[in-house]
Amino acid sequence: EVQLVESGGGLVKPGGSLRLSCVASEFRFSSYSMNWVRQAPGKGLEWVSSISANSNYINYADSVKGRFTITRDNAQNSLHLQMNSLRAEDTAMYYCVRDRYYGNSGHDHWGQGTLVTVSS
């Protein structure tokens, strides 16, 4: 069974940094595009960033562009999100999400999420 396990969330002050990680198992990680999707408390889903299987294509939502960096390590089956200059509005549950196939094909597997709280 495909597993995606996030870690690295926590409480951080505005302006601070945090690095989220996601470890994947039970599938060929190096063959799939991956994403981070977040959900603020009581709010809807917001796509944050995507990275292609070989890291050649990377996209960010305008709300995080210039502050967040997505990377992956196919040898370690891991996905990361470096978050800098954090703001209160970045407070959310962050999900590690696999694309079903290349491109806009749907996100077929989601982790359970890691909670990021930005507050002084």
Partner 1 sequence: QSVMTQPPSVSGAPGQRVTVSCTGGSSNLGAGYDVHWYQQLPGSAPKLLIYGTNNRPSGVPDRFSGSKSGTSASLAITGLQAEDEADYYCQSYDSSLSGYVFGTGTGVTV
**Which of these ranges, 11-19, 21-29, 39-47, 80-88, lies near partner 1 under the rule CB under 8 A?**
39-47
Q: Residue 80 or 107: which CB sits closer to partner 1?
A: 107
Q: Which of 44, 56, 75, 120 binds partner 1 (CB under 8 A)?
A: 44
Report in angstroms the alpha-carbon separations of 10 from 31, 88, 99, 103, 108.
Answer: 30, 13, 26, 31, 26
Report in angstroms the alpha-carbon separations of 85 from 45, 64, 67, 81.
Answer: 21, 10, 6, 13
For partner 1, the binding residues in 53-112 under the rule CB under 8 A are 59-62, 95, 100, 103-112
List residues binding partner 1 (CB under 8 A).
35, 37, 44-47, 50, 59-62, 95, 100, 103-113
